[in-house]
């Protein structure tokens, strides 16, 4: 039975596995990548310090012993201490990884929440316009340009929003008629 479990401490693999770069807004994606770069730099430095500390501890133990052949008891003693240090190092790396990835999740969540808040403001404005323009639910090109620039979204997204809104409205009316 193999007790060695290969752990992945790669920062980039974590980001890919969690699909965190799937942010539609270009400004928010840029902001997220900037925050990621800071966190990644700190993470890599901390991991290097942990590995360096482990290696220094092992070297210190080995340097305290005189050169030569050691009895089996001494070899067992050394390997036990080295195993203990490596185990502590692994635990420290796991804790660092956990803290770092929690930071990444926190930053990602705050950006996603910010994006949803922005979308809610757009929805409120567009719903208001839709309700006020009950005579004509189909804005002309000039109105679309104005609405898109006001909401800071593309015309395609605006047209998609209106299409979805009209679809929801018609479904709502059908449900009300059946009742």
CATH for 133-179 (1.10.10, 3.40.50, 1.10.3210, 1.25.40): 1.10.10
For the chain, the domains span: 11-118, 133-179
Q: pLDDT digit string (tens) for 8-65?
A: 788 888 888 877 777 777 788 888 889 999 999 999 999 999 999 999 999 988 887 7
pLDDT value at residue 87: 93
More confident residue, 77 or 5: 77
Alpha-helical (H) ranges within 133-179 are 141-151, 155-178
Dump pLDDT digits (tens) for 127-165.
888 888 777 777 888 888 888 888 777 888 888 888 888
Dihedral angle over CA of 162, 164, 165, 166, nearest 10: 90
- If you average pLDDT over each of 11-20, 64-73, 92-101, which comes out highest? 92-101
Please state, in angstroms and rounded to a whole number, the distance separating the CA atoms of residues 47 and 54.
Answer: 11
The span from the CA of 28 to the CA of 35, in Å, is 11
Cα–Cα distance between 152 and 23 in angstroms, integer? Answer: 16
Q: Is the pTM of this model over 0.85?
A: no
């Amino acid at each position: 039975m193999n007790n060695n479990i290969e752990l992945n401490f790669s920062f980039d693999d974590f980001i890919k596995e969690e699909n965190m770069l799937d942010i539609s807004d270009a400004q928010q994606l840029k902001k997220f990548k900037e925050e990621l770069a800071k966190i990644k730099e700190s993470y890599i430095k901390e991991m290097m310090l942990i590995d360096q500390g482990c290696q220094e501890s092992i070297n210190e133990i080995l340097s305290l012993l005189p050169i030569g052949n050691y009895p089996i008891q001494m070899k067992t003693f050394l390997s036990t201490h080295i195993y203990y240090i490596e185990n502590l190092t692994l635990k420290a790396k796991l804790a660092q990884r956990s803290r770092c990835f929690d930071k990444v999740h926190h930053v990602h969540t705050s950006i996603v929440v910010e994006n949803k808040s922005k979308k809610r403001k757009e929805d409120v404005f567009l719903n208001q316009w839709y309700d006020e323009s009950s005579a004509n639910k189909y804005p002309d090109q000039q109105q679309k340009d104005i609405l898109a620039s006001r909401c800071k979204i593309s015309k395609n997204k605006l047209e998609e929003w209106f299409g979805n809104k009209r679809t929801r409205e018609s479904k709502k009316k059908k449900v009300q008629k059946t009742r």
